[in-house]
């Protein structure tokens, strides 16, 4: 296999391993609204918490070898303030090589304010030994050992916090679930909750957008020569050979399974093991969550906040207008501080023992798309919402009026390349295509989609939380995929994507016990995505497809219009596993909306 192909396989596999989880155990029961919040409703203080540097510099203990319970050696760098200790420890576990220069590998802001920053390459990556299997059991147990090791060191006060984004946020949650001695607080930035639903196989479709980026980050950084190559040449060369050999191991086999419709194409134990939401009940330390309304984990981060909050854990949620590649950008904004300032306040409270009045930080702060500002809101989901149905109507209209007995249906060709010029492409490639104009205006993509649009809003319409599309459809083929987007149509006609959802018709089964209901409406349908619950798609048979649209927080301003755009795919973000793809190609999909088949979306509309 050529190296180019090996890299591609690894990237896809890595992406897969990065994501997956089971049931939405925190969803409210059928026919009920979300539980009442205990959220604080005050605003951020006018004065942003900060304190001056205590130390002018730092020293680094390079390439500390830490032996795990099974003999595997992990390698760490420890950055210490240039003064007398001991210090509380901020631990970051990374798969992206601790020797790469970035703030997550060496955060001087924390260090100069009295923290030791310890950065460790997770097993099988960077400069550490072992086999990488992305959030597997061995890696999770390593996290517990690393916290307890750090707490015992002479330069440590015995108090440890976890910090980092993305992968480094996900392993914070998995580590915390093992309740290591010495762990006092965590600060996960853009973490996933459910590996399967959040990213790997959203809607039952393979995520092909982010995987190539993953490939370069993890496998490429694992092939950099270790900094200890000269002092430990045999160990370093053995490590590089081992990392190179992994390119045809777990990543390649996993990718093959997903693309061919094998075990990993369905939700199950392999995903549950790597999904923080499945072990969230075991997390017992304060957690500050940061997420993005256009992030890869747009769906999962708020669910983690909600779960911990329900369990009585001190937790906060900040959702910005960010992709996975620009989280924290634009901060401070008004009274919302920069992420480092928020993290300092969090760690000062729980690791330093300084009273920073954590209880005065708002529980939920979200950016409002359309208003272009942050607001403090009463809990997540927003507690002052009502479910409103908007029906797909004749004339490509979207209206609250129910359909007539007879209304014309709409058809489209089933093809796998729809969606390139859409906001989805930018989101699922972590913001890297943001310079491409057509990813900021969906009108080109909408030429191959069926659209339904409201009249211009006579007053502002605010929507906050999970959204559902209930679409009646049929096909001439043996599989059907629906991509359902919500866009904000400006007076000039431009169509800006807000959020979206996807579903393969063969995975249309819904478990109402795990779904979320608002005012009796299923506003967050939960699909099992197991092999046992797959349903046959029969040509010509009308199917009811409940599409989970990822939660958002937006306002359709007066004079703007809300659009629902239904397409046959969402490339390059996703594509069907090969067997399903072959079953859908060339088919004609028909969307029905009439009194018998009233296709609609359900919006959580804010009622102040």
pLDDT digits (tens, 9 = 90+) for 30-80: 333 333 333 345 689 888 999 999 999 999 999 999 999 999 999 999 999
For 295-354, the three-class secondary structure string (H helix, E strand, C coil) is CCCCCHHHHHHHHHHHCCCCEEEEEECCCCCCCCCCCCECCECCHHHHHHHHHHHHHHCC
pLDDT value at residue 334: 87
Token representation of residue 25 = 């155990």
Q: Which of 600, 603, 602, 604 is CA-nearest to residue 471?
A: 600
pLDDT value at residue 25: 33
Give the whole-angstrom CA distance, residue 117 versus residue 152: 15
Give the whole-angstrom CA distance, residue 539 versus residue 527: 22
Token representation of residue 332 = 């401070």
Query: Per-residue b/e over 416-434, b at no fewer than 16 CB within 10 Å?
Result: bebbbbbbbbbbbbbbbbb
pLDDT tens digit sequence for 68-116: 999 999 999 999 999 998 999 999 999 999 999 999 999 999 999 999 9
pLDDT value at residue 438: 87
Q: Is 529 left (phi over 0), alpha (psi -120 to 50) or beta?
A: left
Handedness of CA 449, 453, 389, 37 (dihedral sign): positive
Q: Which of 512, 460, 514, 509 is CA-nearest to residue 488?
A: 460
Query: Per-residue b/e over 157-167, b at no fewer than 16 CB within 10 Å?
Result: bbbbbbbbbbb
| pLDDT < 50 stretches in the chain | 1-40, 215, 236
pLDDT value at residue 608: 79
Q: Hey, is 460 helix, strand or coil?
A: coil
The helix (run of H) or strand (run of E) holding residue 427 is helix 423-428
Q: Which of 252, 210, 265 is CA-nearest to residue 13?
A: 252
For 383-407, the three-class secondary structure string (H helix, E strand, C coil) is CCEEEEEEEEEHHHEEECCCCCCCC
Calculate the alpha carbon distances from 36 to 306, 378, 554 in Å: 11, 9, 22
Contact between 247 and 219 (Cβ < 8 Å): yes
Place of tokens 């203080």: 45
Token representation of residue 166 = 């993305």
pLDDT value at residue 219: 53
Q: What are phi and psi of 376, to 5 degrees?
A: -90, 135
* CA angle centred on 333, ends 329 and 337, rounded to 5°: 85
Q: Which of 142, 139, 181 is CA-nearest to residue 159?
A: 181
| Contacts with 152 (C-beta within 8 Å, 6 or more apart), sequence order | 158
Calculate the alpha carbon distances from 53 to 81, 90, 233 in Å: 10, 17, 39
Contact between 532 and 428 (Cβ < 8 Å): no
| Contacts with 266 (C-beta within 8 Å, 6 or more apart), sequence order | 529, 530, 531
């Amino acid at each position: 296999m050529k190296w180019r192909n090996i890299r591609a396989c690894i990237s896809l596999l890595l992406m897969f391993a990065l994501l997956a989880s089971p049931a939405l155990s925190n969803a409210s029961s059928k026919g009920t609204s979300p539980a009442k919040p205990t959220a604080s409703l005050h605003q951020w203080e006018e004065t942003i918490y900060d304190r001056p540097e205590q130390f002018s510099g730092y020293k680094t203990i390079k390439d500390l070898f830490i032996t795990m319970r099974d003999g595997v050696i992990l390698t760490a760098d420890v950055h210490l303030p240039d003064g007398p200790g001991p210090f509380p420890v901020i631990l970051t576990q990374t798969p992206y090589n601790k020797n790469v220069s970035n703030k997550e590998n060496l955060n001087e802001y924390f260090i100069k304010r009295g923290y030791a920053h310890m950065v460790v390459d997770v097993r099988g990556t960077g400069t550490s030994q072992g086999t990488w299997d992305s959030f597997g059991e061995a890696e999770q147990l390593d996290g517990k050992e690393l916290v307890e090791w750090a707490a015992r060191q002479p330069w440590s006060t015995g108090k440890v916090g976890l910090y980092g984004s993305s992968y480094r946020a996900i392993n914070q949650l998995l580590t915390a679930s093992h309740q290591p001695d010495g762990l006092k607080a965590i600060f996960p930035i853009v973490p996933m909750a459910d590996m399967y639903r959040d990213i790997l196989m959203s809607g039952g479709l393979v995520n092909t957008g982010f995987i190539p980026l993953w490939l370069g980050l993890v496998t490429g950084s694992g092939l950099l020569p270790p900094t200890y190559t000269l002092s430990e040449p045999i160990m370093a060369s053995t490590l590089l050979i081992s990392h190179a050999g992994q390119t045809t191991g777990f990543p390649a086999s996993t990718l093959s399974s997903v693309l061919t419709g094998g075990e990993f194409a369905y939700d199950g134990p392999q995903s549950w093991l790597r999904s923080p939401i499945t072990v969230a009940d075991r997390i017992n330390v304060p957690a500050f969550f940061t997420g993005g309304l256009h992030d890869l984990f747009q769906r999962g981060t708020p669910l983690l906040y909600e779960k911990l909050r329900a369990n009585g854990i001190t937790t906060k949620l900040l959702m910005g207008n960010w992709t996975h590649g620009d989280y924290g950008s634009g901060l401070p904004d008004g009274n919302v501080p920069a992420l480092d300032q928020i993290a300092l306040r969090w760690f000062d409270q729980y690791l330093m023992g300084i009273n920073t009045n954590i209880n005065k930080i708002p529980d939920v702060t979200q950016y409002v798309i359309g208003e272009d500002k942050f607001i403090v809101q009463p809990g997540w989901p927003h507690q002052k919402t009502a479910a409103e149905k908007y029906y797909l109507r004749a004339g490509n209209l979207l209206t609250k009026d129910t359909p007539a007995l007879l209304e014309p249906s709409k058809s489209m060709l089933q093809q796998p390349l729809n969606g390139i010029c859409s906001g989805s492409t930018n989101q699922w490639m972590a913001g890297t295509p943001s310079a491409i104009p057509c990813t900021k205006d969906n009108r080109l993509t909408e030429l191959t989609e069926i659209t339904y649009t409201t009249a211009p809003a006579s007053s502002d319409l605010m929507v906050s939380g999970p959204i559902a599309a209930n679409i009646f459809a049929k096909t001439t083929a043996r599989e059907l995929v629906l991509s359902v987007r919500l866009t904000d149509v400006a007076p000039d006609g431009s169509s800006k994507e807000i959020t979206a959802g996807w579903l393969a018709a063969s995975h249309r089964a819904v478990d109402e016990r795990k779904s979320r209901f608002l005012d009796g409406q299923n506003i967050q349908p939960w699909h099992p995505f197991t092999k046992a619950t797959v349903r046959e798609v029969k040509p010509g048979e009308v199917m009811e497809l409940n599409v989970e649209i990822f939660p958002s927080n937006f306002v359709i301003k007066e004079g703007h219009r809300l659009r629902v755009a239904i397409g046959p795919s969402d490339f390059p973000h996703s594509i069907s596993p090969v067997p399903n793809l072959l079953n859908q190609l060339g088919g004609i999909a028909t969307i029905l909306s009439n009194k018998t088949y009233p296709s609609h979306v359900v919006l959580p509309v804010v009622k102040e």
